[in-house]
Structure 1
Amino acid sequence: MILLTAWLPMILKRLPLSLPIVAMAAGYGVGPLLWSDTVVRAAYRPEVIERLTEFVILIALMGAGLRIKRPLSWRGWVSTLLMIAVAMPLSIFGMAALCWSLAGFSAASAVLIGTALAPTDPVLAAEVQAKPPGEEEGGEVRFVLTSEAGLNDGAAFPFVLLAIGLSTASFQAIWQSWLLSDVLLRILVGGVVGFLAGWCFGLLAFKLPSLELAKTGDGLVAVGVTLVSYGATEMLDGYGFLAVFIAAVTLRATDRGHDFHAAMAEFSEQIERILMVLIMLVFGAALRWGLLAPLGWRDILVGLLFLLLVRPLAGWASLAWSPLPTAAKGLIAFFGIRGLGTIYYLAFAVSRAEFEDAGRIWALSAFVIMCSVVLHGVSSSPVMNWVDRRRARVQKQHVTPDTTKPERATDDDVAGSAADFGGRREPEGS
């Protein structure tokens, strides 16, 4: 499978398939020939799967951050911030309400399911992410999906801790400590430590001639930056996922055009793909061995409503204040890909608190992951190829014949989707 991990992406570019689909199908079909029921259940224990998914998410966050070339500004990041501040809470609330009212879950279990499924996954979203360093960013749709996936894993953690708290106490008893500690303080610590780590490693990599890490050309540096950023933040009781992404974005900003970013991003992507395939193999085998057995018809209905209605509507509503055109808003709202982040949050929570109907929680979440992997995996490549072609046509229309420099687009041009697929011009010096 590791050999196929290197070979299959070349083949799958021509097909409406993705590597996670192939790995999941292989685990489902071949798993019983390789592993017994006991082996699969041992591999899918919360404490095992938590550590494995934790590491692959960290590597994916570093890779996503290194893809972000755009400087931080309100105009450039407003759509991302709306997706984090509006779409994700709406998705959590909507799914929790469905789980509580329609499927009969307890409040704590409903919040946990909603939180685990709300964030866009940075691991299974490679087809829709911004282009790697050294290439053009790829437009607004790719940028927003990449930056959202990078930030929302840290932003979702307060709600995971809320679900853990609700398993033993009422909301009235914990809301003050939750708001001050789990929301405000830990997010602040993660942001500050991530920025300082990225800034320090940026100096070591590009600014100090005697210590320039960039001269090594070794992509392994990305893993070191990831682990130092994460470990330091967790020691200070902050959100390490948030810190890793911010550290990567800050590191890229130190010298945006340096070739070393491409080496680090490529190494991170290779590790991410190998671990992702391994986890999806186990996930496919777990599906074969009865992970979906506790699933009822109400759970199936709730899962489909969330995937096809709640997330798209939440994303669409949050982008109502965004300057993006209609087509871009629809694509961003649709591609809320679930995956390994969901598995991590569930494993993290169930290993620290007792939740009613834990089997149903896993079954419902696994059902949504399975549907999302297939739905978004089949559609992402052809849709994003169409986006890239449309973006190229828009850019070509705004190039003058004599200077080959982009013209300033009119309001009608922007409304006609110059901005949504990447017609935005890069600021000077970026």
Structure 2
Amino acid sequence: MVFIAAGVGLAQTGLLPAEGAQEGLHFLAEIALVILLFLDAAKVNLRELLAERTVPLRMLVLGLPIAVLLGTVAAAVFLPGWPVFALALMAAILAPTDAALGQPVLTDERVPEMERQTLSVESGLNDGLALPSVLLFASLAAATADGDGRNWPLFIASQLVLGPLVGGLVGYLGGKVILLADQRGLSTGTHEGIATIAFACAAYLGATLMDGNGFIAAFVAGIAFGYVVKRQISFVYEFTESEGKLLSWSAFFLLGLTLVPEAIGKLDGPMLALILTSLFVIRPLAIWLSLMGTGLPARTKLFLGWFGPRGLATALFALLIAGKTDPEYADPVLMIAINTVWISALLHGSTAAPAAAWYGRKTGK
């Protein structure tokens, strides 16, 4: 909230040209997405997730697709005349969540550990899991608009197969190299940190050069890297809590400086209705449906459903596909995404601490 507001405030002064800052935002967006996808994935314990974390697993495997499906239907209501792939693209961009905007919930010990861990795992993984559908719908929307005659089964296969293959190989080998260097005393924490970032970038560049998807590659590389090193390398966790946050805050500041003022100026009734429906109806309903049969009380389902703030992933996905989809819909998609981010930052940021205290009281913490 603070960094977005600071960016908007600076934009009103005219002291910093928005055009130059927007170029920096695009560069920062791509770098931030590659690194944060890698690091978020590296922190996940796959064995523990598959064996015990049934709640976040259901929210990811069931809740995320349900949110995209419901979001497509809602977008069709509020954006009449849009082609189906553009509607699905909008829904996929609005589906990922960002734990940074609900940080008081994740750090408040009055909230039971299960709920905090669930939201942390879900927000860490759902941006990477949503990415393939975002890229696919963007490509299909562009192709249907310009009559692209490419071999779509081959294109989809190259995007969804080559990226994970390259990422998995780079992440696995990178983890082995770092472990070996650490065990033999051939590296320091600083050099391990530089190497880790290099592996994330190598996965992205390697997949891109092979016509695979670099962002999916970075995400899979992080999973493979984390599986190999486990918690023996502290850099991943330290970076995420320090430099990683600074990277995210910088992106939020540049969003406020370059895009939020324009997005607010284009906010109209149908757009606002779609955003509020996404925040208040689609996400909570998708989570509720995904958790049916778990025995969780209604307040827990509602609590987990509400704390799905839209943040950096939504903004970055919209920025990255702006030039890859039908130009007629690229700007509206971007404006809806940016307006969703600042509205979510306001609503979720202001309710995080009070809701955490309320939920803690209700659960006896």
Q: What range is the shorter-chain TM-score in?
A: 0.7 to 0.9
List alignment gaps of at least 5 residues for structure 2: none
Alignment partners' CA distance in 1, 2:295 and 2:175: 32
The offset of 1:293, in angstroms, is: 2.0
d(CA) in 2 for partners of 1:78, 1:129: 18
* CA–CA distance in structure 2, aligned partners of residues 110 and 147 of structure 1: 27
> Structure 1 or 2: larger helix share?
2
Matched residue, 2:78 = 102
Aligned twin of 2:126? 152
Code of the residue aligned with 2:275 in structure 1: it is G
Check the 8 A contact 1:222/1:268 in 2, yes or no.
no
Change (3 A) 1:96 1:216: closer
> Map of 1:277-292 to 2, 5 A cutoff?
277-286=249-258, 289-292=261-264
Q: Secondary structure at the match of 2:265?
A: coil
Q: Which residue of 1 aligns with 2:141?
A: 166
Who is 1:44 aligned against? 22
Distance 1:222 1:328, change over 3 A: farther
Looking at structure 2, the residues matched to 359 and 185 of structure 1 have their Cα atoms a distance apart, in angstroms, of 28
Q: Write the distance in 2 (CA, Å) between the matches of 1:163 and 1:92.
A: 14
> What is the Cα deviation at residue 318 of structure 1?
1.4
TM-score in terms of structure 2 length: 0.81
Residue equivalent to 2:67: 91
Secondary structure at the counterpart of residue 375 of structure 1: helix
Moved more, 158-167 or 248-257: 248-257
State the distance in 2 between where 1:385 and 1:67 align. 27
One of 152, 156, 159 as aligned partner of 1:186? 159
Q: Percent identity?
A: 24
TM-aligned CA deviation for residue 228 of structure 1: 2.1
Out of 146, 167, 171, the position equivalent to 1:198 is 171
* Equivalent pair of 1:154/1:239 in contact (CA under 8 Å): no
Q: TM-score, normalised by structure 1?
A: 0.70
Query: Pairwise CA RMSD of aligned residues?
Result: 3.6
Partner residue of 2:94? 117
State the alpha-carbon separation in 2 of the partners of residues 253 and 288 from structure 1: 38
| Within-5 A mapping of 1:300-339 | 300-322=272-294, 326-339=298-311
Match of 2:12 in 1: 32
Alignment of 1:18-417 (within 5 A): 21-35=1-15, 39-44=17-22, 49-69=25-45, 71-72=47-48, 74-107=50-83, 108-121=85-98, 124=101, 126-127=103-104, 139-160=113-134, 161-169=136-144, 177=152, 181-182=155-156, 186-207=159-180, 209-210=183-184, 213=187, 218-258=192-232, 260-261=233-234, 263-286=235-258, 289-322=261-294, 326-384=298-356
Q: Check 1:187–1:207 CA distance in 2 against 1; reply closer, same or farther (3 A cut).
A: same
Distance 2:143 2:204 in 1: 28
Cα distance between partner residues in 1 of 2:178 and 2:18: 42
Q: Which runs of 5 or more residues in structure 1 are unaligned?
A: 1-20, 132-137, 394-430
8 Å contact from structure 1 (residues 220, 267) kept in 2:
no
Deviation at 1:41, TM superposition (A): 3.8
Hey, what's the Cα distance between the residues in 1 that align with 2:33 and 2:287? 23
Determine helix, strand or coil for the equivalent of 2:264: coil
